[in-house]
């Protein structure tokens, strides 16, 4: 810590030095006062940052902060006030967005709203039962093509091969079946 000069505290009271600085604005007075506690400030910064270089930079930044803050705030106990200022400075630096570490959570470990609330499970079950009922109400062609397309995830060409229907007929059956399912579900929900 060659950059810290160890100046022993003089008989001058810290409060007197603070008052003198506030009256004159003389940075030499503030510098002498600050040097008494630089080791304390460095220790606080090192505790939070765990990096000597970053802590040295913080000691200098805190002095710059001190120049303006000391003129604004009434300070009765300089040492404890400076300790709090240093701690808050470090915490604010650690909270900046570049220092915030985020971890992406695996969705498998998250609870979904449906599984947490039984009402969601019951509502989903009712929707599935209603969907099954409405599927039965479709024409045979619509039911077959909708099940192949949505439940078995077949493409139009595969459905045409499986059913023997023309490609345009497959598309028509799926669109009409989807519309009829929607209408049936909405109608049954209102009842």
Residue 72 and residue 132 share a domain:
no
pLDDT at 135: 87
Q: The domain that contains 161 carries what CATH number? A: 1.10.10.10
Question: Residue 82's closest CA among 3, 17, 20?
Answer: 17
pLDDT at 10: 43
* Domain coverage including residue 72: 14-99
| Residues of the chain with confidence (pLDDT) below 70 | 1-12, 98-103, 105-121, 191
- Residue 65: burial class (beta carbons within 10 Å; 0-12, 13-18, 19+): middle
Does residue 44 belong to any structural domain of this protein? yes
- Residue 67: burial class (beta carbons within 10 Å; 0-12, 13-18, 19+): middle
Does residue 8 belong to any structural domain of this protein? no
Residue 148 and residue 90 share a domain:
no
Total structural domains within the chain: 2
Does residue 74 belong to any structural domain of this protein? yes
Residue 95 and residue 67 share a domain:
yes
Identify the H or E element spanning 19: helix 14-24
Taking the C-alpha atoms of residue 173 and residue 123, their distance in angstroms, rounded to an integer, is: 28
Residue 122 and residue 90 share a domain:
no
Q: The domain that contains 81 carries what CATH number? A: 1.10.1740.10
Residue 24 and residue 93 share a domain:
yes
Phi, psi of 6 (to 5 degrees): -90, 100
pLDDT at 127: 82
Does residue 140 belong to any structural domain of this protein? yes
**End of a domain among 52, 72, 99?**
99
Residue 83 and residue 24 share a domain:
yes
**End of a domain among 69, 99, 129?**
99
- Measured CA to CA in angstroms, residue 189 lies from 4, 78, 123, 134, 146 at distances of 76, 71, 11, 12, 21
pLDDT at 13: 84
pLDDT at 80: 92
Residue 51 and residue 87 share a domain:
yes
Does residue 141 belong to any structural domain of this protein? yes
pLDDT at 6: 42
pLDDT at 75: 87
Please answer whether residues 27 and 70 qualify as being in contact, where contact means their C-beta atoms are separated by less than 8 angstroms.
no
Does residue 61 belong to any structural domain of this protein? yes
């Amino acid at each position: 810590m060659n950059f810290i000069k160890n100046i022993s505290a003089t008989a001058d009271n810290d409060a007197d030095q603070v008052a003198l600085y506030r009256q004159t604005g003389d940075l030499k007075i503030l510098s002498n006062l600050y040097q008494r506690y630089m080791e304390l400030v460095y220790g606080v910064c090192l505790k939070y940052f765990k990096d000597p270089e970053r802590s040295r930079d913080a000691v200098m930044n805190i002095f710059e902060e001190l120049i303006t803050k000391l003129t604004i705030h009434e300070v009765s106990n300089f040492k404890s006030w400076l300790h709090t200022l240093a701690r808050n400075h470090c915490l604010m630096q650690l909270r900046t967005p570049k220092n915030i570490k985020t971890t992406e959570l695996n969705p498998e470990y998250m609870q979904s709203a449906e599984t947490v609330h039984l009402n969601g499970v019951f509502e989903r079950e009712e929707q599935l039962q209603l969907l099954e009922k409405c599927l039965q109400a479709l024409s045979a062609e619509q039911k077959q093509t909708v099940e192949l397309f949505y439940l078995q995830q077949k493409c139009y060409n595969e459905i045409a091969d499986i059913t023997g229907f023309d490609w345009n007929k497959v598309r028509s059956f799926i669109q009409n079946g989807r519309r009829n399912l929607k209408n049936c579900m909405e109608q049954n929900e209102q009842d």
